[in-house]
Amino acid sequence: MISVAEATRLVAATVRPLGTELLSLPLAAGRILHEDLRADRDFPPFNRVAMDGIALRYDTLAAGQQEFLITATQFAGQPPVTGPSPTAAVEIMTGAMLPEGLDTVIRYEDLTFRTDEAGQRHATVQALPPRAGHNVHQRASDRRQGDLLLPAGTRLEPAEMAVAATIGAATVAVARRPRLAVVGTGDELVPISEQPAAHQIRRSNALMLQAAAWQAGAEADSFHFDDDPAVLRQELPALLAGYDAVVLSGGVSMGKADFLPEILQELGVEQRFHGVAQRPGKPFWFGARTGGAVVFALPGNPVSTFVNFYRYVQPWLQAGQQPSGAAVTGSGPVPAVLTQPIEFKPLMTHFLLVSLEAGPDGRLLATPERAGGSGDMASLLTSSGFLELPPESTHFPVGTVLPVWRFR
């Protein structure tokens, strides 16, 4: 039996980039970028008017002139007025390019207007603005042409989509979605739509894994196989060849019906470990097939399956979407504060379901669930993560800060 740290290392060692595909930008929402995207122009690309009002020359105003003849009007999207008079003004709208020779914008709220007998409009400035450049978003003040804006490995969330659009990245190279086969096993399981006999229950783990894989950005297909070596020998090879990973639930404990590890090895899946010093999920079996799928064979208890998916499978899915060699940032556990003391005697890592709440002082508070053992699926409903209690300690007093893996 190996430690959680060693299991994590052995799982990570099987990560390989899953490939790249080119997508039209709107279709790439949520994907991981596989190319560096740089600014094609300065940000902003011109001296951009930031308020509706008039554009003028600050020096003229500072020298004492308060009223300005309006010689032109310029909307956003129009080429800038050329050769404006240094003593007159251009009425101008937000988003327009500031005309060459003018440097300051006074917004409507700080102006009064009059029309003279000849029908010409004049604006009077109420107060001297604090500096030249007022209400102008200066060219290149945010980013410069050539700056790296979106490095490979970035997830294309809404802000990144906006930036990619602005620099004209109409087609982008992104990670292919991982393809996952989730497989439920167990002869006691009947389909969701059937009425189970007294000693049966309905299938739930495969659907749970499928939904979790979807949330992690993977494609996932769901299967159920009977606990029959002949069936498994016949059905598993297609999954091992056609998917990046196969996640099995059930069939790996010490029981007589648990022949899965043996069959997987027959089918060319090399065992990397079997048994991890953790609860829940001690019988976890992991292997990899050369040029084919990795196999996460998780114990069949719902809580065990669930926790081990988030602890091992999800990080593997995320890492495989990164460009070669890049580390995943921004995922993984965060620190949380224990609100109740916990005793856990066995010298193994304990994954403890907790509800999470932000305290009034900004601390993330973790309250252990009344847990009915690793079979208590309903306890997942009121939890939003699990603490990882290290194997070295047995007593965790109130206030202990521990890493929490969030699943909501």
Question: Interface residues for a second copy in 273-292 (CB under 8 A)?
Answer: none
Radius of gyration from C-alpha coordinates of the chain: 31
What distance in Å separates the CA atoms of residue 367 and residue 355, rounded to the nearest whole number? 5
DSSP E strand stretches across 209-269? 219-225, 245-249
Given 341, 378, 393, 398, the residue binding a second copy (CB under 8 A):
378
- Closer residue to a second copy (CB): 171 or 393: 171
| Residue count, binding to a second copy (CB under 8 A) | 115
For the bound state, the minimum distance from the C-beta of residue 268 to a second copy, rounded and expressed in Å, comes to 27
What distance in Å separates the CA atoms of residue 270 and residue 239, rounded to the nearest whole number? 15
Given 210, 278, 322, 349, the residue binding a second copy (CB under 8 A):
210
Q: Find the binding residues for a second copy in span 51-90 (CB under 8 A).
A: 51-52, 73, 75-80
Write the single-letter amino acid at 185.
T
For the bound state, the minimum distance from the C-beta of residue 406 to a second copy, rounded and expressed in Å, comes to 11
What distance in Å separates the CA atoms of residue 131 and residue 61, rounded to the nearest whole number? 11
For the bound state, the minimum distance from the C-beta of residue 2 to a second copy, rounded and expressed in Å, comes to 17
Given 1, 201, 238, 398, the residue binding a second copy (CB under 8 A):
201
- Closer residue to a second copy (CB): 63 or 254: 254
For the bound state, the minimum distance from the C-beta of residue 10 to a second copy, rounded and expressed in Å, comes to 24
What distance in Å separates the CA atoms of residue 71 and residue 81, rounded to the nearest whole number? 10
- Closer residue to a second copy (CB): 187 or 266: 187
Q: Find the binding residues for a second copy in span 151-180 (CB under 8 A).
A: 156-163, 165-170
279, two tokens = 């609860």
Instruction: Look up tokens 């990080």; give the residue.
Output: 315
Longest dimension (CA), the chain: 103
What distance in Å separates the CA atoms of residue 311 and residue 293, rounded to the nearest whole number? 19
For the bound state, the minimum distance from the C-beta of residue 16 to a second copy, rounded and expressed in Å, comes to 26
Is the Cβ–Cβ distance between 383 and 369 less than 8 Å?
Answer: yes
Work out whether 101 is an interface residue with a second copy (CB under 8 A).
no
